[in-house]
Structure 1
Amino acid sequence: MILNLALVAILLIVSFAVGRGGLLQAMGMFFAVLVAASLASAWYEPFAAYLEKSLEPYRYFLDIAALWFLFAVIVVLFGAMVQFLTKRPVAFPKPVELAGCILVGLMAGWTVTEFAAFTLHTAPLRAGIIPSAGSSMLFGLKPDRCWLWWMRGSSRNGPFAIAGKPFDPTDDFVERYAAKWKQLSADPVPDVQPPAPPPAQ
């Protein structure tokens, strides 16, 4: 229940934040959010693997950290571009402005909610917190599955497609991470303390 309420809060907060800036800016921010979440999802694994070389004691936390770091950096960069390009307001009829802001705000909020639910599978959380493959998040709306469907489809076709490198080619993202955390819970808790500094010369 707490997890579902947190996702609802994300949906409402992002929808309000995006929709209050006007229709043109809201459309730009929706595009920024969609691109940032898509690129972060596509790039996080090689980035986490790179970080693991120097942060090996924290390896269980690197996937979710890489996802949110990439998302934050990209959305800030694209958001700044949107702010710059939409400095001069464009007048829309009042009903169009109001309905458009609500709709586009909700689209952006739902995109971030999908991405957030997706990233939870990469977090080393206690068994039972994240729904298993046979259950769903957010009162059956399955935002995590929706994002997986988007990433699988867009990496095979469309503007985010990468030839020969589809996202989650075996369609077992949820199962892979569930097995990983189950194995972790069966093993001793990893030591996440940083390595001791070398002795003074």
Structure 2
Amino acid sequence: MYYAIFGIVLFATLAMMVREGLWANLIALFTLLVGGLTAFGIYQPIVVMIDEATEGSYTYLLDFVVLWLVFALVVGVLKGLGGVMSPRRLRFKEPINPIGGPIVGLVAAVLVACFTMATFHAAPLGATDFFPELQPTGTTVDAVATELDGLSVFSRPDVAWLRLAETALSPDRLGGSGFSPAIYVFTLGQHRDSFQKMTDVLVDRK
């Protein structure tokens, strides 16, 4: 299921971009990258604020929804600004455009697919539902960090995105506390485990 979803997202995104020119795909790549990094950089305080305002009514749903809402909002705003600031597409000489366009489109598609898989850590799914690969076996943040260090970014698209977010949102670059893949995976793993137990109890009662 994990790799099937990754493949579907990858090829669906690529299909939408492969016929676009190099300039359009470069802008799309930039907006998607900034949108994804912004989502992972600011989603947590937004989730906390909404969770407190709703008294925990949507605890298991908020992380996933907020990640995607922030992503969609930032991408939409940047795309709109790009259209206003660059109404005419920059033209590249042949064969740069027909070759470069699909290549950049493929990079953008991989980026979106990796981002998507990383957000499934926050999805309201049980620990063993659909994506058991995402559930950490470590019982502490340090143990999860060690576990993640042993995973390849080439075989785990979600880890590839989390590593990218960790590097791009590093406190050395932006200040603040940065982004920790281990904390993200550990915390949301606990959420999914709790959600699994809660749904199991509801099923048993029925």
TM-score tier, shorter chain, comes to: 0.7 to 0.9
Rounded Cα–Cα distance in structure 1 between residues aligned with 2:199 and 2:31 = 41
Name the CA distance, whole Å, in 1 between partners of 2:186 and 2:170.
21
The secondary structure found in structure 1 opposite 2:174 is coil
Structure 1 match to 2:80? 80
User: How far apart are the structure 2 equivalents of 1:23 and 1:108?
Assistant: 12
Q: Secondary structure at the match of 1:57?
A: coil
Q: Is residue 39 of structure 1 aligned with residue 38 of structure 2? A: yes
TM-score, structure 1 normalization: 0.81
Q: CA deviation at 1:52?
A: 1.3
The equivalent residue for 2:190 is 179
Q: Which amino acid aligns with 1:30?
A: L
Residue 165 (structure 1) aligned with residue 202 (structure 2) = no
5+ long unaligned stretches in structure 1: 192-201
Question: What's the TM-score once normalised by structure 2's chain length?
Answer: 0.79
Compared CA separation, residues 98 and 84, structure 1 to 2 (3 A): same
Match of 2:140 in 1: none
Q: Distance in 2 between matches of 1:16 and 1:188?
A: 37
Amino acid at match of 1:146: A
The correspondence of residues 36-185 of structure 1 with structure 2, limited to 5 A, is: 36-55=35-54, 56-128=56-128, 129-130=130-131, 131=133, 132-133=135-136, 141-156=155-170, 161-168=173-180, 171-185=182-196
Q: Between 109-118 and 178-187, report the one with greater CA deviation.
A: 178-187
Identity within the alignment, %: 24
1:47–1:66 contact (8 Å) kept in structure 2: yes
Q: Is the 8 A contact 1:25 1:83 kept in 2?
A: no
Q: Equivalents in 2 of 1:17, 1:188: separation in Å? A: 37
Taking the aligned partners of 2:93 and 2:170, their CA distance within structure 1 comes to 39
CA separation of 1:92 and 1:54: change in aligned 2, threshold 3 A? same
List structure 1 runs of 4+ shifted beyond 4 angstroms: 134-137, 188-191
Aligned length: 185
Query: For structure 2, which runs of at least 5 residues remain unmatched after alignment?
Result: 138-146
**Structure 1 position 190, deviation (Å):** 9.8
Counterpart in 1 of 2:16? Answer: 17
Q: 1:115 to 1:104 in 2, by over 3 A?
A: same
Structure 2: distance between partners of 1:50 and 1:190:
28
Structure 1 residue 157 displacement after superposition: 6.3
